[in-house]
Structure 1
Amino acid sequence: MSLDRGGEKFFLRDEVVVRNQIDSAWVIIHGNVFDITSLFDANSSSLKKVHQLLLALAGKDLSVYFDTQRRPVYRISKDGARVPVFPPVKIRNSATGEYWWNDRSLLIGKITAQERKIRVVNNVTFQQCNLVVCEEDTIAEIRRKFLRFNDNGFNYRWRSNINLTDTAADLQLDRTLTGNGIIYDRYPPAPLIWLFYQIPDGSEAEETTPSAPANNSRPAAQVAN
């Protein structure tokens, strides 16, 4: 997940896919991400059928059921009645009285405009992590995500190449990959980012080995041998 553009949140599609349970349910509608968890009673053993249908599609992109204005698509029944193609659009959020798909309190962000694959390499150990991040992620946000693999992540200089004499290679933490001149290329290999460890001022700490990934629901990276 990325937090950028004045606080707007961005997500990878894979971050939504895993939110498919009654206690954590997200859906996508035309690039917008909705957290619909509050529509379900996690303690209930018998949901209404219309709620069961919506829950069955948690973690998925429901755009096909909505027009480009994010309004439900309707059809004409054999009796001549106008009915929604997707019955769960009739569900309202009991807390606000709004239809869930039109409730801004359930809108938590957007799908990233572009998923970015990068290779993060330690210049001492040459251990490599392959990450997938949001185009909107700043280097600071990418660094925060990297803490899953090395809890000393804040003690590295993040650079676009291994040549220490190239001062322009130091990445600006408040800028995105693109903002740092690392342009998206659909063809492999993914761009390299080099990590140079720095012992914190007043500390005799030595670099630690990257910690094992947490058991999150979606692996954001792989560690290459």
Structure 2
Amino acid sequence: MPNRPRFFTPAQVAAHNTAADLWVSFLGKVCDLTPLVKQHEGDVLLLPIMEFAGKDISSWFDPETEDVLTFVHPLTDCVSYYTPRGRFVHIPPAGPRSDWASDIEPAWWKDRCYEVGRLSAKTRWIRVINTLTSQEQRLEVCSEETLAEILERYLPYNSHACSYTWKHNGASLDMSKTLSENNVPDDDFKLQKLRLDCDLFTPAILLHFNDDLTEG
């Protein structure tokens, strides 16, 4: 599916937390703001964004309008952007200013050029076990990801992962489907309700090497 977005875990977003490599997430979107930081280098309006590098800033926005939150100023009765962490890039000043360009379009939070994917609504842990070598790798994956996308996550640990058949409970997995669609249950909520350690019940995915010399 060429238009399918890439999904990221919060941990992946958090890894991009410097001025030279700055990501944020908000309203389910993941954005790479590194070009914005370079464009406005030295601007004090970058400070609130840099403070939240690698973090989720959904609280800055109205989920219905997908715009920055607003409030009615008690003195002027004018609608203004609500920015308790300080005014940031593309937020206009409170009053008229001769040094402010009012024709900014679109603002960075509306500009899709910064979007690199979607933030997972629910991540989960799995154990990927290579039955040939008995090596085991724990992976945090996105519940929205297909097995083929999870395989991409696993490749740094086993560059030959494509040469294996992926199975769970003896059944071969459909690599075009998600874990849930392959009947690999996500029992995190149930285990938490029972006050059981989720790490002790992490589902295992077994990798069986495809021996091309084996017949039948």
Q: TM-score, normalised by structure 2?
A: 0.77
Displacement, 1:74?
A: 2.3
Structure 2 counterpart of 1:33, from 30, 33, 43: 30
Q: CA, structure 1 residues 42+149, in 2 after alignment: closer, same or farther (shift >3 Å)?
A: farther
What is the rounded CA distance, in whole Å, between the counterparts of 1:48 and 1:88 in structure 2? 9
Amino acid of the residue matched to residue 17 of structure 2? N
Deviation, 1:91, is: 4.9
| 1:175-186 correspondence to structure 2 within 5 Å | 175-186=177-188
Q: Which residue number corresponds to residue 48 of structure 1?
A: 43
Distance 1:13 1:141 in 2: 17
The 5-angstrom pairing of residues 145-184 of structure 1 reads 145-161=153-169, 163=170, 169-184=171-186
So what's the TM-score if we normalise by structure 1?
0.74
Alignment match, 2:97: none
Match of 2:96 in 1: none
1:205-220 equivalent positions in 2, closer than 5 A:
none
Q: Is the 8 A contact 2:81 2:91 kept in 1?
A: no
2:105 match:
97
Structure 1 match to 2:101? none
> What percent identity do the matched residue pairs reach?
29
Query: Counterpart of 2:204?
Result: 192
Residue number among 138, 147, 150 corresponding to 1:142 in the alignment: 150
Structure (1 or 2) with the greater helix fraction: 2
Mapped to 1, the partners of 2:146 and 2:212 lie a distance apart of: 22
1:120-149 superposed Cα distances (whole Å, 9 cap, x missing partner): 112233221111111121111111211111
Distance in 1 (alpha carbons) for counterparts of 2:178 and 2:91? 38
Distance in 1 separating the partners of 2:62 and 2:110: 13
1:70-108: CA deviation from partner (whole Å, max 9, x where unpaired): 22112345643543222216359xxx8311111122222
Match of 1:124 in 2: 132
SS of the counterpart of 1:8?
Answer: coil
Supply the distance in 2 between the matched residues of 1:42 and 1:77 (Cα, whole angstroms): 31
Task: Find the counterpart in structure 2 of residue 9 from structure 1.
Answer: 6
Whether contact under 8 Å (2:32, 2:116) holds in the other structure is yes
Residues matched between the structures, number: 188
- Matching residue's letter, 1:184: D
Matches of 1:78 and 1:6 in 2, distance apart?
A: 45
